[in-house]
Amino acid sequence: MQRIRLRYTKRGRLRFTSHRDFQRAFERALRRAEVPMAYSAGFTPHPKVSYANAAPTGTGSEAEYLEIALTATRDPEQLRALLDESLPTGLDVVDAVEARTSGLADRLTASEWELRLEGVDPAEAERAVAAFNAAESVEVQRMTKNGVRTFDARPAVVDLETRSSTADRPTDQPCAILRLVVRHVTPAVRPDDVLSGLRAVADLAPPVPAAVTRLAQGLFDEETGTVTDPLAPDREAATAHTAGSAAAAKAPA
């Protein structure tokens, strides 16, 4: 059985696609592309697809991951192209590797987000970010199925900073752009929790909902302050396997 790991995006209006809607669209794409899927056992077999840490509905993403199991070997890049053609524009399959290591979900321990705050002056956002970073704790509230839950959002935030917003501005209206790196902890701290924290510590309240996009997801590199590619170990293992096969073919009998 071959396992393929895929990275896909949620762009434009498709950011409002729920995870369940994406699952249905992806399973239709598997059928259209005639992918030789492995299925679960039981009375209602399902394609063996493992989804990992999906972004909340309403947020965009450049770094969503899943893994599929196949009953026949396929070239990862050709499979990626077929699936990408079978999905609507905005749900784009942008990377594929053969799974040669274990624990993809274990490598998704942090996310990098971009938060665009339309109508917010960058200087005001910078003051709010400074107050958040200086705080030892930032208590926020979230409505859950069991009622309102209060928790500290500060420990999960590895980095929060403002970025320049002048390069791609179509209007003269102010816009603050924040870069957020957050660890995946329990309870999960989401971008909207950080926005609630900015409101709590600095009374920052954007006039319109923030446009939130996940830029990366993977292990956090303490030295560089970046979120690393979780598919890199599989690519490295594939390269090592290819090099080993080539060396074995050249060796004298």
- In the predicted model, is pLDDT for residue 25 greater than 90? yes
- Using CA atoms, how far residue 31 sits from 36, 107, 147, 242, in Å, is 9, 29, 40, 31
pLDDT of residue 168: 55
- In the predicted model, is pLDDT for residue 42 greater than 60? yes
- In the predicted model, is pLDDT for residue 252 greater than 90? no
pLDDT of residue 172: 76
pLDDT of residue 167: 52
Average pLDDT for 13-27: 95
pLDDT of residue 241: 65
Between 67 and 165, the higher pLDDT residue: 67
Average pLDDT for 11-16: 95
User: In this prediction, what percent of the chain has a pLDDT beyond 70?
Assistant: 92
State the number of CA atoms in the 13 A half-sphere of 11 facing the CB. Answer: 13
SS3 184: coil
- The pLDDT tens digits of the residues spanning 198-249 come to 999 999 999 999 999 999 999 999 998 899 999 999 999 988 767 666 566 6
- The pLDDT tens digits of the residues spanning 103-138 come to 999 999 999 999 999 999 999 999 999 999 999 999
Name the nearest CA neighbour of 154 among 178, 131, 142, 136: 136
- In the predicted model, is pLDDT for residue 153 greater than 90? yes
Strand pairing category for 49-52 and 60-70: antiparallel
